[in-house]
Amino acid sequence: MKNLFLFIALLCLIPVEAQKTVEILTSKKLNGDREITIGLPPSYAENKTKKYPLLVLLDGDYLFDPFQGALNYGAYWDDLPEVIIVGISQNKKEERYTDCAVDETTGLPAESGEAFFEFIGQELVPAIEKNYRVAPFKIIAGHDTTAGFMNFYLYKDQPLFDAYICMSPELPKGMEEQLPERFQLIQKPIYFYQSTADGDVKKMQQRILKLDAEAKKIQKPTFNYSFDEFKGASHYSLVLHSIPNALYQFFQVYQPISTAEFDQKIVVLPSGYTEYLVKKYDVIEKSLSMKLPIRLNDFKAIEAAILKNKAYGEFEQLAALAKKNYPRSMLSDYHMGIMYEKTGDLKKAVKAYQSAFQKEEIGDLTKDMMLNKADELKNM
C-alpha cells in the first residue's frame, strides 16, 4: 500500500495542463443524450499536425482523473505518450448496468447493452475521430461490470480497439472460455491487461484466474498479455495499482533508451548501433501507429555506445540520421566531427565543427562548444 500512496502523491505533484471539457453527445442508438468528458494533451493546441492515441474510458465518472493523472506523470518524463482521453458518463442510477445488459442465455449484449455497444463503435468513436486528431492506436478501459462488457469488441473479426485494460472484470457468461479462442484467431496485434487482488470479489476472481491461465498458454507474437494479482488491495483500490502497470505495459516500446537497455542490449552489440536506433523507432511506429522524431537523448546513448566500442565509422550513419531528424541543428556536423577527430583526420574534424557552429544549438551542444573544439584541434 505504501507504493500506492506514493503513486497518488506523485500524481498530485505533476502540473496538469491538459485541456478537459464536458460535452453532450446526442445518440440515436441510446435514444437520448450522453455526457462525455474529453481530455486533450497539453501539446494539442500548439502542435497542429500531431495525432494522438485514443483512450476510451467506461465508468468515466471515476476513472477519468486517475487515468489522466497517470498519463500526465508518464508524459512529463517522456515515458508515456500524450493521449486523447474520452470518459463516458455512467453515473446515473443503474445506468452502467443497463449500458452493459447481457442476455443470460447467449451471454451477448442484449437490448440496452447492444445499443450502448453500438453507440461506442458507431457514434462515439467516429465523432471523436471526426473532430479531433486521433492516431490509429485505440485503447478501452473499464472496471468490473464495464471491464467485462468492453471485451465484446474482441468478438469482432476486426476489433475496434487495439488495447484493453480489464480491471477486475465481471465476465459475462462463457467469456473466460471464449476470449482465449478469440485471441488465437484475431490477426491484428492485440494488447490485453487484466487484474485482480487478494481482496477482490471471490466469485469474480475465480473466473478471472481461469481466463488468465488460458491466456498465458497463448504463444503468439501479436498477442501482448499481462496480468496482475495485487496483494493487500481491494476490489476498488486495485484500480490505482492497475492503471500505471497497464499503461507502461502497452507503451513499453515507446520509452526512451534506459540505462538497462543501454547496458544489456546496445553496448554489448559488436556493431549496428545506429541500425538498432532506427529499428527501435520503426517498432514504435508499427506497434503504436505513432511516428516520432528520434529523441536527442537516444542519439546521445548511441553516440556513447559507438565511443565505448571505438566503432567510429558508425558516426557517419548516425550523422545522416541526425540530419534527417534535426536538419537545422548542429547534431549531424558534430557527429561527423567526432568521427574525423577519433580517426585522426583533424583538418576535416575542424571543418565539421566549424560547420556545426553555423547551425542551431541543440541540447547541450552550443556554438561556443563547437568553436572551442575547432580551436583546440587547430593548435594540435
pLDDT tens digits along 295-323:
999 999 999 999 999 999 999 999 999 99
> Residue 16: pLDDT above 80?
no
Cα–Cα distance, 22 to 255 (Å, whole number): 31
> Residue 10: pLDDT above 50?
no
Residues β-bridged to residue 190? 223
What pLDDT, on a 0 to 100 scale, did the predictor assign at position 140?
98
**pLDDT tens across 235-247, in order?**
999 999 999 999 9
Mean pLDDT of 342-362: 97
Q: Report the candidate in 250, 177, 170, 172 with the shortest Cα–Cα distance to residue 212.
A: 177
What pLDDT, on a 0 to 100 scale, did the predictor assign at position 17?
52
Mean pLDDT of 275-286: 95
Residue 195 binned pLDDT confidence (cut-offs 50, 70, 90)? very high
CB atoms within 10 A of CB 153: 18
**pLDDT tens across 116-159, in order?**
999 999 999 999 999 999 999 999 999 999 999 999 999 999 99
Give, in words, the CATH class of 2-254.
alpha beta
Rg (C-alpha) for the chain, rounded Å, is 25
Distance in Å from the first CA to the final CA of the chain:
61
For the chain, the structural domain boundaries read 2-254, 259-378
What pLDDT, on a 0 to 100 scale, did the predictor assign at position 380?
76
**3-state SS of 304-364?**
HHHHHCCCHHHHHHHHHHHHHHCCCECHHHHHHHHHHHHCCCHHHHHHHHHHHHCCECECC
> Residue 92: pLDDT above 70?
yes
Q: Which three cell numbers, joined as nine digits, stand for 148?
A: 467485462
Rounded to whole angstroms, what are the CA distances from 190 to 133, 140, 159, 264? Answer: 22, 12, 9, 27
Dihedral sign of CA atoms 325, 331, 335, 336 in order: positive
Residues β-bridged to residue 197? 230
What pLDDT, on a 0 to 100 scale, did the predictor assign at position 289?
85
> Residue 283: pLDDT above 80?
yes
Domain 259-378 is classified in which CATH homologous superfamily?
Tetratricopeptide repeat domain (1.25.40.10)
Residues β-bridged to residue 102? 109
**DSSP string of 207-247?**
HHHHHHHHHTT---TTEEEEEEEEEEEETTTHHHHHHHHHH
The bridge status of strand 52-57 relative to strand 163-167 is: unpaired
What's the whole-model pTM score? 0.88
What pLDDT, on a 0 to 100 scale, did the predictor assign at position 19?
77
**pLDDT tens across 315-346, in order?**
999 999 999 999 999 999 999 999 999 999 99
> Residue 6: pLDDT above 60?
no
Residue 3 binned pLDDT confidence (cut-offs 50, 70, 90)? very low
> Residue 50: pLDDT above 50?
yes
Mean pLDDT of 178-203: 96
Is residue 296 left, alpha or beta, with left meaning phi > 0 and alpha meaning psi from -120 to 50? Answer: alpha
What pLDDT, on a 0 to 100 scale, did the predictor assign at position 91?
81
Cα–Cα distance, 168 to 63 (Å, whole number): 14
Is the distance from CB of 147 to CB of 96 less than 8 angstroms? no
All residues at 6 or more sequence positions from 252 whose CB lies less than 8 Å from its CB, including other chains: none
Residue 11 binned pLDDT confidence (cut-offs 50, 70, 90)? very low
Residues in the chain: 380
